[in-house]
Structure 1
Amino acid sequence: MNFIVWIVVGGIIGWLASIVMKTNAQQGLFLNVVVGIIGAFLGGLFLAPLFGTGTINSDDFSLSGLLVSFLGAIILLAIVNLFRRRSAH
Protein backbone atom coordinates (compact mmCIF):
# COMPACT_ATOMS: atom_id res chain seq x y z
CA MET A 1 0.00 0.00 0.00
CA ASN A 2 2.89 2.39 0.71
CA PHE A 3 4.02 2.02 -2.90
CA ILE A 4 0.69 3.29 -4.23
CA VAL A 5 0.72 6.26 -1.85
CA TRP A 6 4.33 6.96 -2.85
CA ILE A 7 3.36 7.00 -6.56
CA VAL A 8 0.30 9.22 -5.97
CA VAL A 9 2.15 11.72 -3.75
CA GLY A 10 5.13 11.72 -6.15
CA GLY A 11 2.76 12.47 -9.02
CA ILE A 12 1.13 15.34 -7.15
CA ILE A 13 4.52 16.79 -6.17
CA GLY A 14 5.79 16.46 -9.74
CA TRP A 15 2.63 18.06 -11.12
CA LEU A 16 2.84 21.01 -8.71
CA ALA A 17 6.54 21.48 -9.47
CA SER A 18 5.80 21.43 -13.22
CA ILE A 19 3.18 24.15 -12.72
CA VAL A 20 5.65 26.30 -10.77
CA MET A 21 8.37 25.78 -13.40
CA LYS A 22 5.87 26.27 -16.29
CA THR A 23 6.61 22.86 -17.85
CA ASN A 24 3.17 21.39 -17.19
CA ALA A 25 2.13 21.48 -20.85
CA GLN A 26 5.21 19.44 -21.82
CA GLN A 27 4.71 16.69 -19.24
CA GLY A 28 2.18 13.94 -18.85
CA LEU A 29 1.13 11.91 -15.85
CA PHE A 30 4.08 9.52 -16.09
CA LEU A 31 6.69 12.31 -16.20
CA ASN A 32 5.02 14.06 -13.27
CA VAL A 33 5.40 10.90 -11.19
CA VAL A 34 9.01 10.46 -12.30
CA VAL A 35 9.85 14.11 -11.54
CA GLY A 36 8.19 13.85 -8.12
CA ILE A 37 10.05 10.70 -7.12
CA ILE A 38 13.46 11.68 -8.52
CA GLY A 39 13.01 15.19 -7.14
CA ALA A 40 12.30 13.70 -3.72
CA PHE A 41 15.49 11.66 -4.06
CA LEU A 42 17.50 14.80 -4.90
CA GLY A 43 15.82 16.67 -2.07
CA GLY A 44 16.78 13.84 0.25
CA LEU A 45 20.42 14.04 -0.83
CA PHE A 46 20.90 17.79 -0.75
CA LEU A 47 18.10 19.47 1.21
CA ALA A 48 17.00 17.00 3.89
CA PRO A 49 20.28 17.28 5.85
CA LEU A 50 19.95 21.08 5.82
CA PHE A 51 16.38 20.99 7.13
CA GLY A 52 16.80 17.92 9.35
CA THR A 53 13.89 16.05 7.78
CA GLY A 54 13.19 13.18 5.44
CA THR A 55 11.37 12.97 2.12
CA ILE A 56 8.51 10.95 0.69
CA ASN A 57 11.10 8.36 -0.38
CA SER A 58 12.06 7.80 3.27
CA ASP A 59 8.39 7.44 4.32
CA ASP A 60 8.33 10.91 5.89
CA PHE A 61 4.88 12.17 4.96
CA SER A 62 5.14 15.21 7.23
CA LEU A 63 4.75 18.74 5.92
CA SER A 64 8.52 19.30 6.03
CA GLY A 65 9.13 16.01 4.18
CA LEU A 66 6.66 17.00 1.49
CA LEU A 67 8.22 20.46 1.20
CA VAL A 68 11.74 19.04 0.78
CA SER A 69 10.45 16.61 -1.86
CA PHE A 70 8.69 19.48 -3.66
CA LEU A 71 11.83 21.65 -3.60
CA GLY A 72 13.86 18.73 -4.94
CA ALA A 73 11.39 18.35 -7.83
CA ILE A 74 11.68 22.06 -8.62
CA ILE A 75 15.49 21.79 -8.62
CA LEU A 76 15.28 18.79 -10.95
CA LEU A 77 13.07 20.67 -13.40
CA ALA A 78 15.39 23.70 -13.26
CA ILE A 79 18.35 21.47 -14.17
CA VAL A 80 16.41 19.83 -17.02
CA ASN A 81 15.34 23.25 -18.34
CA LEU A 82 18.95 24.46 -18.22
CA PHE A 83 20.10 21.55 -20.38
CA ARG A 84 17.16 21.94 -22.77
CA ARG A 85 18.02 25.60 -23.38
CA ARG A 86 21.68 24.78 -24.00
CA SER A 87 20.91 22.03 -26.52
CA ALA A 88 18.45 24.31 -28.37
CA HIS A 89 21.17 26.82 -29.19
Structure 2
Amino acid sequence: MGILALIVVGLIAGVLAKWIMPGPDPGGIIVTILIGIAGAFVGGFIVQSLFGGPRLTEIGVSSILISTLGAVVLLAVYRLITRRAV
Protein backbone atom coordinates (compact mmCIF):
# COMPACT_ATOMS: atom_id res chain seq x y z
CA MET A 1 0.00 0.00 0.00
CA GLY A 2 1.44 3.37 -0.96
CA ILE A 3 1.94 6.25 1.42
CA LEU A 4 -1.03 8.23 0.10
CA ALA A 5 -3.29 5.18 0.29
CA LEU A 6 -2.08 4.51 3.85
CA ILE A 7 -2.88 8.09 4.85
CA VAL A 8 -6.36 7.91 3.27
CA VAL A 9 -7.15 4.55 4.90
CA GLY A 10 -5.67 5.84 8.17
CA LEU A 11 -7.85 8.94 8.09
CA ILE A 12 -11.00 6.92 7.40
CA ALA A 13 -10.12 4.30 10.03
CA GLY A 14 -9.26 6.94 12.63
CA VAL A 15 -12.54 8.79 12.07
CA LEU A 16 -14.52 5.54 12.24
CA ALA A 17 -12.72 4.49 15.43
CA LYS A 18 -13.49 7.85 17.07
CA TRP A 19 -17.11 7.48 15.94
CA ILE A 20 -17.31 3.97 17.41
CA MET A 21 -15.57 5.01 20.63
CA PRO A 22 -16.40 8.67 21.26
CA GLY A 23 -14.72 10.34 24.18
CA PRO A 24 -12.47 13.14 25.34
CA ASP A 25 -9.32 11.86 23.64
CA PRO A 26 -6.80 14.59 22.95
CA GLY A 27 -5.72 15.49 19.45
CA GLY A 28 -7.16 16.76 16.25
CA ILE A 29 -7.13 15.50 12.69
CA ILE A 30 -3.38 14.69 12.73
CA VAL A 31 -3.69 12.47 15.80
CA THR A 32 -6.78 10.85 14.28
CA ILE A 33 -4.81 10.04 11.11
CA LEU A 34 -1.90 8.69 13.15
CA ILE A 35 -4.20 6.49 15.23
CA GLY A 36 -5.76 5.19 12.01
CA ILE A 37 -2.38 4.49 10.39
CA ALA A 38 -1.13 2.72 13.51
CA GLY A 39 -4.46 0.91 13.59
CA ALA A 40 -3.82 -0.32 10.06
CA PHE A 41 -0.62 -1.96 11.24
CA VAL A 42 -2.20 -3.37 14.40
CA GLY A 43 -5.33 -4.58 12.60
CA GLY A 44 -3.26 -6.09 9.80
CA PHE A 45 -1.09 -7.89 12.32
CA ILE A 46 -4.12 -9.21 14.21
CA VAL A 47 -5.91 -10.45 11.10
CA GLN A 48 -2.82 -11.97 9.44
CA SER A 49 -1.24 -13.53 12.52
CA LEU A 50 -4.22 -14.79 14.45
CA PHE A 51 -6.76 -15.48 11.74
CA GLY A 52 -4.65 -16.05 8.61
CA GLY A 53 -6.53 -13.31 6.78
CA PRO A 54 -5.55 -11.35 3.69
CA ARG A 55 -2.76 -8.78 3.50
CA LEU A 56 -3.69 -5.12 3.24
CA THR A 57 -2.56 -4.16 -0.25
CA GLU A 58 -5.08 -1.64 -1.54
CA ILE A 59 -7.82 0.75 -0.50
CA GLY A 60 -10.98 -1.25 -0.04
CA VAL A 61 -13.71 -2.07 2.41
CA SER A 62 -11.74 -4.91 3.99
CA SER A 63 -8.62 -2.80 4.54
CA ILE A 64 -10.70 0.01 6.07
CA LEU A 65 -12.53 -2.41 8.39
CA ILE A 66 -9.30 -4.11 9.45
CA SER A 67 -7.63 -0.73 10.04
CA THR A 68 -10.64 0.47 12.02
CA LEU A 69 -10.47 -2.67 14.18
CA GLY A 70 -6.83 -1.90 14.91
CA ALA A 71 -7.56 1.76 15.67
CA VAL A 72 -10.36 0.78 18.08
CA VAL A 73 -7.95 -1.59 19.84
CA LEU A 74 -5.38 1.22 20.12
CA LEU A 75 -7.97 3.66 21.50
CA ALA A 76 -9.09 1.09 24.08
CA VAL A 77 -5.50 0.42 25.19
CA TYR A 78 -4.79 4.17 25.32
CA ARG A 79 -7.84 4.76 27.51
CA LEU A 80 -6.89 1.91 29.85
CA ILE A 81 -3.38 3.30 30.25
CA THR A 82 -4.47 6.90 30.81
CA ARG A 83 -7.29 5.91 33.18
CA ARG A 84 -4.89 4.05 35.46
CA ALA A 85 -2.31 6.83 35.37
CA VAL A 86 -4.73 9.37 36.86
Q: TM-score, normalised by structure 1?
A: 0.79
- Residues 1:47 and 1:53: Cα distance change in structure 2 (over 3 Å): same
1:53 corresponds to 2:51: no
Number of positions where the alignment pairs a residue of Structure 1 with one of Structure 2: 84
User: For 1:44 and 1:78, how far apart are their aligned partners in 2?
Assistant: 17
Output one character per residue of 1:32-84: Cα deviation in whole Å (capped at 9) or x when no partner: 110001011011111234151223xxx23232222111101100100000001
Q: TM-score, normalised by structure 2?
A: 0.81
- Structure with the higher fraction of residues in helix conformation: 1
User: For 1:78 and 1:39, how far apart are their aligned partners in 2?
Assistant: 11
- Residues 1:53 and 1:9: Cα distance change in structure 2 (over 3 Å): same
1:83 maps to amino acid: I
Gaps of 5+ in 1: none
User: For 1:24 and 1:51, how far apart are their aligned partners in 2?
Assistant: 35
Root mean square deviation, CA, Å: 1.9
Contact 1:18–1:24 (CA under 8 A) maintained in structure 2:
no
- Residues 1:24 and 1:60: Cα distance change in structure 2 (over 3 Å): farther
Higher relative contact order (CA 8 A, sep 6+): 2
- CA drift at 1:24: 6.6
- Residues 1:76 and 1:25: Cα distance change in structure 2 (over 3 Å): closer
Of 55, 69, 72, the match for 1:71: 69
